[in-house]
Amino acid sequence: MNSSSKSDQETGLESLSSRQPLVSVSVSFPKFTRRVLILGVGPLARDLCQTLLAKRAGFTEVVGFLDKDASRVGERLVNPTIIGTYDQLFEIAERYQVHTVAVCLEDRRAVLPVQTLLDMKAMGRDVVDGHYLYEEESGRLSIDHLKPSALIFSTGFRRRLLTMLFKRALDVVVAIVGMIALLPVVLVLSVLIKLDSSGPVFYRQMRVGLRGRPYMIWKFRSMRQDAEQSGARWASNEDPRVSRVGRWIRKWRLDELPQLINVLKGEMSLVGPRPERPVFVQELRNTIPYYDLRHTVRPGITGWAQTRFRYGASKEDSHVKLQYDLFYVKNLSLALDFRIVVHTVKVMFMGEGAR
């Protein structure tokens, strides 16, 4: 810590008792609450604040935002307000007993208070990148505000050989055992589908897989045979094209069982991003940043997005689901796969429906 910075900080601390509060806020926090100060007022700062308030109610307190413009102090953004400016960072951190400073600035080169942040880090306070904290708390990547350099120099996206070999071995074993054990279920479902509506029992459709390669996915037919006479459409949770038996097997995700064939062939994995149709992939990669990163791993029968988000039935939903998919791609591990499988089994038994 240089002498000038230390002197400024000491002067600021000595004068705290004589200064008027920056805003008229009563500072009273629970004993075990983590207090977060957000540096910045842009979209990432707001998204992070909303995530912290929604997920950690009672355990995390967002004390407010800091902006470079003093005229905006007191303005309400989400629930907390802008409580000061960047040059008041140290004083406000002391006043509100801040544990964590989340840096959410769009252009850090011009305005980042580097020396103050370094001093606070040396004093034991957490100084974290806003993208990292958002990812940690929400389980997804904030792709709209993320620069390519943040992905390039991140510690994620590792593909350890042993992990990938073990993951593939588990896929093969589970696919073989599952196909044998579920044979009676397959036979019963085949009869029900045939009795319910005309058409084949199984449904094959082109999907985009690993490295963008197309392949044919297998499913139990859950829609009427003429479901796409007018062309490809997004599926929805209450799709009128779904047959009576189809609605039941989709609710319990039984229509996905034939994809064990794709897993055995190496076209899919048990866990990974859900594969999309080529017509939609071309459309989505032109409008959603980093979309093709989801094709760097095998698609899965179930995935992180399926356990964390509702049924995807639009481009907007695909945008959010990609954020979860990229979190999985970045943090791929056997432990995360196990967590996803456990949650998927829970969803199946509760009948929450396919996603």
203-253 pLDDT tens trace: 999 999 999 999 999 999 988 765 565 555 556 556 768 888 988 888 888
pLDDT digits (tens, 9 = 90+) for 162-174: 999 999 999 999 9
Please say if the pLDDT value at position 201 is more than 60: yes
| Span 169-189, average pLDDT | 97
User: Which residues, 6 or more positions from 253, have their beta carbon under 8 angstroms from its beta carbon?
Assistant: 344, 347, 348, 353, 354
**pLDDT confidence bin for 347, thresholds 50/70/90:** confident
Measure the CA–CA gap between 37 and 64, rounded to whole angstroms. Answer: 6
* pLDDT of the residue at 232: 59
With bands split at pLDDT 50, 70 and 90, how would you rate the model's confidence at 5? very low
pLDDT of residue 296: 96
| 311 pLDDT tier (thresholds 50, 70, 90) | low
**Closest of 62, 47, 23 to residue 104, by C-alpha:** 47
pLDDT at residue 313 above 80? no
Please give the C-alpha separations between residue 261 and each of 50, 128, 179, 222, in angstroms, as whole numbers.
Answer: 42, 44, 8, 18
Question: d(Cα 350, Cα 355) in Å, to the nearest integer?
Answer: 14
The closest of 56, 69, 130, 126 to 98, measured between CA atoms, is 126
State yes or no: pLDDT of 197 exceeds 60.
yes
- Average pLDDT taken over every residue of the chain: 85
pLDDT of 14 strictly over 50:
no
HEC string of 263-319 equals: HHHCCCEEECCCCECHHHHHHHHCCCCCHHHHHHCCCEEECHHHHHCCCCCCHHHHH
* pLDDT reported for residue 104: 93
What CA–CA distance (Å, rounded) separates 26 from 323? 37
Q: Between the ranges 173-177, 231-235, 278-282, where is the mean pLDDT highest?
A: 173-177
Across 314-336, average pLDDT: 92
Structure tokens at 173: 């074993």
In the predicted model, is pLDDT for residue 157 greater than 60? yes
Give the pLDDT of residue 19: 39
Number of Cα atoms under 13 Å in the Cβ half of residue 251: 10
pLDDT tens string 53-79: 887 656 889 999 999 999 999 999 888
Q: How high is the pLDDT of residue 25?
A: 43
What are the residues whose beta carbons fall under 8 Å from the beta carbon of 39, sequence distance 6 or more? 45, 65, 66, 86, 89, 101, 102, 103, 104, 105, 113, 130
Say whether pLDDT at 11 is over 50.
no
Is there a contact between 145 and 131 (Cβ–Cβ < 8 Å)? yes
Q: Of 38-47, 319-328, 342-351, give the lowest mean pLDDT range.
A: 342-351
Comparing 91 with 233, the larger pLDDT belongs to 91
> What average pLDDT does this structure show over 22-45?
72
Q: How far is CA 83 from CA 8, 69, 73, 95, in A?
A: 20, 11, 5, 11
Residue 21 has pLDDT above 60, yes or no: no
Query: What is the mean pLDDT of the segment spanning 109-131?
Result: 89
Angle (deg, nearest 10), helices 278-285 and 315-330: 80
CA distances from 87 to 13, 93, 132, 141 (A): 14, 11, 24, 29
Confidence at residue 355, expressed as pLDDT on a 0 to 100 scale: 42
Pairing status of strand 214-220 against strand 202-208: antiparallel
pLDDT of residue 152: 86
Q: pLDDT > 90: what percent of the chain? A: 61
- Residue 110, amino acid: A
Mean pLDDT of 187-200: 92
Q: For residue 78, what pLDDT is reported?
A: 85
pLDDT of residue 18: 37
